[in-house]
Structure 1
Amino acid sequence: MKLGLLFFLILFGLETIMFFFLHSTLVESRVEEELIALQTRGNSHRAILEKHFDENTISHVALMESEANTDVVITNSNKEILGASVDSSLIQRYIKRPITSSIRKGKTIEDNWKKEEYISTVSPIEQDGVLIGHVYMFQDTAWIQSLISRLNKQFLIAGFIAVIFTITIIIFLSKALAKPLIKMKEATSQISSGDFSVSLPKTGDDELGDLARSIQLLAGDLNYLREERNEFLSSISHELRTPLTYIKGYADIVQKRDLSPEERSQYLSIILEETNRLSDMVKNLFDLARIDKNTFDIKKRPIDLKEFMKKIETKFSPAFTEKGMLLSVNCLESITISADASRLEQIIFNLLDNAIKYSSPGDKTTINISRTKKHVIININDTGRGISEEELPFIFNRFYRVDKSRARALGGTGLGLAIVKELVHAHGGTISVCSREGDGTEFEIVFKGETECENNTFG
């Protein structure tokens, strides 16, 4: 209603101003036309009288005007009336008005049609350059006022139609604007109450349409975040409960039962293993929390990948050998990148740890380093069990694990790949995965090429 009222006041004000100026212009133009016509008629009579300035011609001119809606008065040079088509008492005061100058084309002596009974013009009659009389022409203003009155009525009708038309347009326009806005307000109220299943109608490609799509997108994102939060809380409660249950259970056994040294050592080993698992999980959660708060330090230094990968191979080969697997690193040339060495090692470690967990004895994991003009590419390829196509879009989500059984034999918390993704992005790189169930998995990390040494903070 406020929007419609504002539009109405603005449009009504503009229409009123436009009608006022149009009306004034038309009235002034119409009066001017009447005065010009009156002057032209007086000049025509003057032309005749200059040729025949006698009693018969004067009477003939007066007789002609008596049949018209205009009147004529003919005087001599001393303003004595020689002939008239109107009662001289009505026009005597107009004739007595002084004429300051004699203008051949004539002049207007009265144009106040609102207050005077007549509008009037005068044309001089001359013979051989000598003034011998005047032709006064009169137009009854009642006729002009009647004409203006009819014009006013037409303007009132047009104004009324314009107002009705304006109100109709404003009603439809206000509804067209307010209806989607009201729905958007209801949608935002629905979102604020925790219901993200909002649906807004398509309103086109204008600003309202963009706003509706933004609200719809916001609702989808909030719903996704809620689901992520719920899944996160469910996952973390499960992941924390499992090692705590093992620790508590085996601690009770060690404390309450009379165990042999071998059994006690076995149970303490399990407690230590679960404690380490719990410690790793808390550390990973702490790292993710720091990343989310943009307080995760990335201290970049130039790294020679050839030497770096030799150290990686030396450090991780025993773990692969113990499982009956093979680790191969291929970096044929010296390639330098700017990165945080400890964080880069953490990235490689998490990916290699996944390769070990999801591969079998006899499988092979290969690390290939290559570069283009602008990028350095690290490919980690294993011949393990692979990942199904349905699982691929979610493997970087927190607490997501391909193995739904969460078997202890495989270990892990589902946080490793989430941390890898965040660390790669913190270095300004990208990570992608390609896999087929039963045919192995390949992770590809793309970093920018050699850059200047710098200290950065993630975010």
Structure 2
Amino acid sequence: MRKLSLKLGIIFFITLFCIETFMMFFLHTSLTNSRVEEELTSLQARGNSHRTILERNFDKETLAHIVLMESEEDTDVVITNISGTILASSNPHPEIKDYINQLENTVPYNGEILQRHWQNEKYIATISPIQKQQRTVGYVFMFQNTVSIHALMERLNKHFLIVGFVSGLVTIAVIIVLSRKLAHPLIQMKEATMKMSNGDFSVTLSSNGRDELSDLAIAIQHLSDELNHLRQDRKDFLSSIAHELRTPLTFIKGYADILYKRNLTEQDRQKYLGIIIEETNRLSHLIRELFELAKMDENSFIIEKECLQLNEFLENIRGKLSPAFQEKQLHFNVHCEEGLTLMADAARLEQILMNLLKNALSYCSSGDVISVIAKRQDDLVSILVKDTGKGIPKKDLPHIFERFYRVEKSRSRSLGGVGLGLSIVKELVQAHGGEITAQSKENKGTTFILTFKGVKKYENNTTH
């Protein structure tokens, strides 16, 4: 936490420090130049004011009056004639001769600034020409000591230092708060991912905001829930496999020991051998279904689609299963729209329907009706497998496609499989790009609805 918040704090501080330094420098320079320009403008205006008075009365009394006025101020005045002779002065300024020598032929009537470099000079200076009848007869030189400007700049610098220090403290405080606020959820997410990497998926992250951090927290929380669910599924899956494998192996081992250790009659011997063969077949069927599921999970099985004529396809299935239905005295019906086609893998679609129909065969009693109905709905093909058997309880219906889920937990082994058939059916339907749903009421029957996309072209399509 310290490292992340420190890095964020340093980045924020450097960024804000650069911005504030630039702004303070710009503001300081602007204020300094503005204040100096104000002083120069004021000095120039004062010189122009004296010039205006002298243009009216250019005599000794007026000169003495102006000198007297400036002697009471922080500014100095020097009045010369056109040839540079000093007529009056409030304070001697030796550099006046240099300024007079540097004068150009004409000075603007509004005057001009002679010296503005207050940093390195003792005085700033301006000049205003005195004119009589459009002819220059003298000059008014104004001087102001730069000590006052330096004092003003020192006060300004002091204020800027105080403001900079306070703003720096406020900036640091804000950065500390913001960096911790930003770092805290990231640290929580880091700790959550560390817990998840160690196998602990009991993660709870807050997602109160609507920003990217909240989206990330929601995603991590969702991942944690999914991993926890997968871990529980794996645990249940392995437990179910162990149970399903142990049961037939126990039967096989037990009856094999009986056959090996005891002298049995031929009738008992055949009976026990039949049980061993039955359990072996059951074990072989379980392993085959597990192998099918493993291939589906790895997407290593192939769906080779072709255009199937459903009427002919369903009649072929009726022919294969009719003896089993007749033996149990069940009515088996097939209804298919004329000319209805579907792009599907023939072997896999047969496996789907066989699983559903064998399921119905197990849960129907004498006199019940089992129907397969195929029809087109817009651009979809629906295949319904209906029966009037025992039905599925409402509480079990949402779970029937889960692996190893059994509706009747205590049913006899002869009544059904191991709870993988419907899981395989769902995987195969989804591999075809279709969907499967179930509707059921206890003692009234069950309907499985398979929905596939219809056929637009008669062409083969291979899907991995």
Partners of 2:143 and 2:453 in 1: how far apart?
97
1:150 aligned to 124, 132, 155, which one? 155
Matches within 5 A, 1:231-250: 231-250=236-255
SS in 2 for 1:433: strand
SS in 1 for 2:102: coil
Give the structure 2 partner of residue 358 of structure 1: 363
**Structure 1 residue 341: Cα displacement:** 0.3
Matches within 5 A, 1:103-252: 103-252=108-257
Give the structure 1 partner of residue 460 of structure 2: 454
Q: Are the counterparts in 2 of residues 369 and 377 from structure 1 also a CA contact under 8 Å?
A: yes
Partners of 1:117 and 1:93 in 2: how far apart?
16
Unpaired runs of 5+ residues, structure 2, are 1-5
Give the structure 2 partner of residue 92 of structure 1: 96
Partners of 1:93 and 1:187 in 2: how far apart?
84
Query: Counterpart amino acid of 2:420?
Result: L
Partners of 2:463 and 2:254 in 1: how far apart?
43
Structure 1 stretches of at least 4 aligned residues deviating more than 4 Å after TM superposition: none
SS in 2 for 1:300: strand
| Cα RMSD after superposing both structures | 1.6
2:19 aligned to 5, 14, 21, which one? 14
**Structure 1 residue 63: Cα displacement:** 1.9
Q: Are the counterparts in 2 of residues 421 and 431 from structure 1 also a CA contact under 8 Å?
A: yes
SS in 1 for 2:394: coil
Do residues 345 (structure 1) and 350 (structure 2) align? yes
Do residues 315 (structure 1) and 320 (structure 2) align? yes
Q: Are the counterparts in 1 of residues 387 and 446 from structure 2 also a CA contact under 8 Å?
A: yes
Query: Counterpart amino acid of 2:451?
Result: V
Do residues 329 (structure 1) and 330 (structure 2) align? no
Task: For residues 181-229 of structure 1, give each alpha carbon's deviation from its aligned partner in whole angstroms, at most 9, with x where no partner exists.
Answer: 1111111111111111111123411111111111111111111111001
Count matched residues: 457
SS in 1 for 2:58: coil
Task: For residues 212-263 of structure 1, give each alpha carbon's deviation from its aligned partner in whole angstroms, at most 9, with x where no partner exists.
Answer: 1111111111111110011000000111111111122222222332223322
Task: For residues 311-330 of structure 1, give each alpha carbon's deviation from its aligned partner in whole angstroms, at most 9, with x where no partner exists.
Answer: 11121122122222222111
Q: Are the counterparts in 1 of residues 403 and 420 from structure 2 also a CA contact under 8 Å?
A: yes
SS in 2 for 1:302: strand
Query: Structure 1 stretch 448-457 or stretch 393-402: which is displaced more?
Result: 448-457
Q: Are the counterparts in 2 of residues 384 and 439 from structure 1 also a CA contact under 8 Å?
A: yes
Give the structure 2 partner of residue 31 of structure 1: 36
**Structure 1 residue 94: Cα displacement:** 5.7
Give the structure 2 partner of residue 418 of structure 1: 423
1:255 aligned to 254, 257, 260, which one? 260
Q: Are the counterparts in 2 of residues 343 and 423 from structure 1 also a CA contact under 8 Å?
A: yes
**Structure 1 residue 363: Cα displacement:** 1.8
TM-score scaled to structure 1, two decimals? 0.96
Partners of 1:361 and 1:106 in 2: how far apart?
124
Query: Counterpart amino acid of 1:353?
Result: K
TM-score scaled to structure 2, two decimals? 0.95
**Structure 1 residue 96: Cα displacement:** 4.0
Give the structure 2 partner of residue 431 of structure 1: 436
1:74 aligned to 53, 73, 79, which one? 79
SS in 2 for 1:88: coil
Q: Are the counterparts in 1 of residues 80 and 138 from structure 2 also a CA contact under 8 Å?
A: yes
**Structure 1 residue 44: Cα displacement:** 1.9
Q: Are the counterparts in 2 of residues 79 and 95 from structure 1 also a CA contact under 8 Å?
A: no
Q: Are the counterparts in 2 of residues 367 and 381 from structure 1 also a CA contact under 8 Å?
A: yes
**Structure 1 residue 51: Cα displacement:** 2.2
Query: Counterpart amino acid of 2:251?
Result: Y
Alpha-carbon spacing, 1:408–1:171, altered in 2? closer, same or farther (3 Å): same
**Structure 1 residue 302: Cα displacement:** 0.1
Alpha-carbon spacing, 1:53–1:441, altered in 2? closer, same or farther (3 Å): same
Partners of 1:420 and 1:116 in 2: how far apart?
98
Query: Counterpart amino acid of 2:440?
Result: S
Do residues 301 (structure 1) and 306 (structure 2) align? yes
Partners of 2:98 and 2:356 in 1: how far apart?
112
Give the structure 2 partner of residue 375 of structure 1: 380
Partners of 1:403 and 1:93 in 2: how far apart?
120
Query: Counterpart amino acid of 1:340?
Result: D
Partners of 1:97 and 1:108 in 2: how far apart?
15
Task: For residues 142-198 of structure 1, give each alpha carbon's deviation from its aligned partner in whole angstroms, at most 9, with x where no partner exists.
Answer: 111111111111111111121111111111101111111111111111111111111
Query: Counterpart amino acid of 1:99?
Result: L
1:409 aligned to 406, 414, 418, which one? 414
Q: Are the counterparts in 1 of residues 99 and 114 from structure 2 also a CA contact under 8 Å?
A: no
**Structure 1 residue 300: Cα displacement:** 0.2
Task: For residues 298-345 of structure 1, give each alpha carbon's deviation from its aligned partner in whole angstroms, at most 9, with x where no partner exists.
Answer: 000000111111111121122122222222111132211100000000
Alpha-carbon spacing, 1:410–1:97, altered in 2? closer, same or farther (3 Å): farther
Query: Counterpart amino acid of 1:2?
Result: K
Give the structure 1 partner of residue 3 of structure 2: none
Query: Structure 1 stretch 302-311 or stretch 313-322: which is displaced more?
Result: 313-322
Q: Are the counterparts in 2 of residues 294 and 457 from structure 1 also a CA contact under 8 Å?
A: no
Partners of 1:403 and 1:357 in 2: how far apart?
12
**Structure 1 residue 126: Cα displacement:** 1.7
**Structure 1 residue 93: Cα displacement:** 5.5
Partners of 1:62 and 1:416 in 2: how far apart?
117
Partners of 1:57 and 1:435 in 2: how far apart?
120
Unpaired runs of 5+ residues, structure 1, are none
**Structure 1 residue 97: Cα displacement:** 4.8
